[in-house]
Amino acid sequence: MQLLIDQLVFLFGFILLCSCAFLISLVLVIRVYLSFDQYAEERFRHKWRDLIVKSFTSKRIPRFPPIAKRDTYRFLRFWNYYQWLLKGPEIETLNQIAVITGIDQRAKTFLNHWSIRNRLIAIETCGHLRDRSAWSRLAALTRSKNTILSAAAARTMVQIDSEAAIPYVVPMVMAHARRSPDLLVGILGQSNSEKILPSLVQTAIEAPIEISVRIARILEAIGLNLTVPFLLQMVNEKKDDELILICIRVIGKFGDSGYLDFVRSHADHKDWSVRVQVAATLGKLGTEDDLPKLKQLLCDKFWWVRYRAGQALAQASFCGIAKLLEIQKLMSDQFAFDMINHVIAEETPMKLQG
């Protein structure tokens, strides 16, 4: 019995030793492979950087050596890096290089590759090339279960033809509004995406309020003044407090006084968070005519509303601290009186430091 136990212990130890030796060998092999791959990457980058820079400075585009299939992804990554880096006539030169080397055709074959990495780089390449011949495959990718792939394909379709992309991009945006708003901002924030917004907003109006609010937040995150009319359209149709809040916040963010009447109309809104945003926006964009509304908000029962109203009065061009002190003398509301003291205590050190 003891002999059997000794044999089992020996066998277990031998297997453990072999496993350790195998793992150490595997780590060494991986390290060697990565070192060679890094060296090849550096050589490839140095070689093609010189060729591409030379093509920018010469009158005629020089001849380029053939690109091995194993280097296709490496070249596409390098080429796309220059697409993001450069502007003007150099972009046209880069596109000519893609056609001359045949890398544009290889990119289209990558659209069907099993690797997500290869498909993503191919999608990006087709976008930079404005390659309409890849349209049907890109349209199919917008329906992919992989959110990153579908968003990348939609973004490229907008780059190629934003108007024609509407039937594909709008359903994709609506489908992923809950899960990936950051990716959707990248699609709708492009310079030529404004043609998509009317269809998107109309679809959002017809959707449940939760989706409408998410679309409104995406429009807010885009950071473009042109989104305000679309947000107002959503507010008029849906009559939702969250949509009103977002709309007023965007108006204040872009400093468009043309929408002040809409802001003023919500100074008595039942939701205190909306009144907070009204006070902040009137402080940025308001005029002396808005003093009564801000005084009213200064007496609000909610602390945050009073605080934003006090800040707005202290910082507004039509009021300031001196006038705020005069307003305080006429205040009978103790909460408003105390809030003015609080705001002045905050603002005075800031002005001294400034």
**Residue 323 lies in domain:** 259-354
57 touches 105 (CB < 8 A):
no
pLDDT band at 353 (very low <50, low <70, confident <90, very high): very low
119 touches 111 (CB < 8 A):
yes
Per-residue pLDDT tens over the stretch 189-208: 776 778 888 998 999 999 99
Residue 182 within a domain: no
Cα–Cα distance measured from residue 88 to residue 82, given in angstroms and rounded to the nearest whole number: 12
Collect all residues with Cβ–Cβ distance below 8 Å to 271 and sequence separation of at least 6.
Answer: 241, 244, 245
Residue 334 within a domain: yes
Residue 170 within a domain: no
Q: Alpha-carbon dihedral of residues 243, 246, 247, 250, nearest 10 degrees?
A: -160
Per-residue pLDDT tens over the stretch 37-61: 888 888 888 888 888 888 888 877 7
Residue 308 within a domain: yes
CA 25 vs CA 17, 21, 36: distances in Å: 12, 6, 17
Q: Which two tokens stand for residue 158?
A: 């907008």
Residue 352 has pLDDT above 70, yes or no: no
Residue 23 within a domain: no
Residue 160 within a domain: no
Segment 119-132 shows an average pLDDT of 94
Residue 269 within a domain: yes
DSSP-H helix ranges across 239-333: 241-254, 260-264, 272-285, 291-298, 303-315, 321-329
Residue 329 within a domain: yes
Residue 283 has pLDDT above 50, yes or no: yes
Residue 106 has pLDDT above 90, yes or no: yes
Residue 105 has pLDDT above 90, yes or no: yes
Segment 214-221 shows an average pLDDT of 89
189 touches 223 (CB < 8 A):
yes
CATH assignment at residue 292:
1.25.10
Cα–Cα distance measured from residue 20 to residue 1, given in angstroms and rounded to the nearest whole number: 29
Residue 259 has pLDDT above 50, yes or no: yes
Number of domains in the chain: 1
Q: Is the pTM of this model over 0.85?
A: no
pLDDT band at 222 (very low <50, low <70, confident <90, very high): confident
